[in-house]
Amino acid sequence: MLQTLDDISSPLPPNATYEWIDPNDLHAEPLRAGVRWWRKARGDRPFPAREDLNPRDIAELLAYMSLLKVIDGGADFEHRIVGDVMVQAFNVRIQNRRFSDIAYEAPEFIERCFEIFRRVVDTGEPRAWRAVEGRDSTAVVFRHSEVVLLPLGHEKVNHLVAFCCHGEGTRPAAAA
Q: Set out the domains of the chain in order of their start, with CATH numbers.
A: 16-167 (3.30.450.20)
With a pLDDT cut of 70, the percent of the chain lying above it is 77
Query: In this predicted model, what pLDDT tens digit does every residue of 106-133 receive, in sequence order?
Result: 777 778 788 889 999 999 999 998 877 6
Residue 173's pLDDT band (cuts 50, 70, 90): very low
Strand ranges (DSSP E) for 33-142?
A: 65-71, 76-82, 127-132
Q: What is the mean pLDDT of residues 25-44?
A: 96
CA torsion, ordered 132, 60, 63, 71, to nearest 10 deg: 90
Amino acid 168: pLDDT = 54
Rounded Cα distance between 45 and 118, Å, is 20
Amino acid 132: pLDDT = 74
Rounded Cα distance between 77 and 70, Å, is 5
Do the Cβ atoms of 23 and 41 come closer than 8 Å?
no
Residue 33, pLDDT > 70, answer yes
- Judged on CB neighbours under 10 Å (0-12, 13-18, 19+), 86 is buried
50: Cα separation from own chain's centroid: 16
- What does the chain come to in residues? 176
Higher per-residue pLDDT: 70 or 12: 70
Q: What is the mean pLDDT of residues 35-40?
A: 97
Rounded Cα distance between 25 and 7, Å, is 20
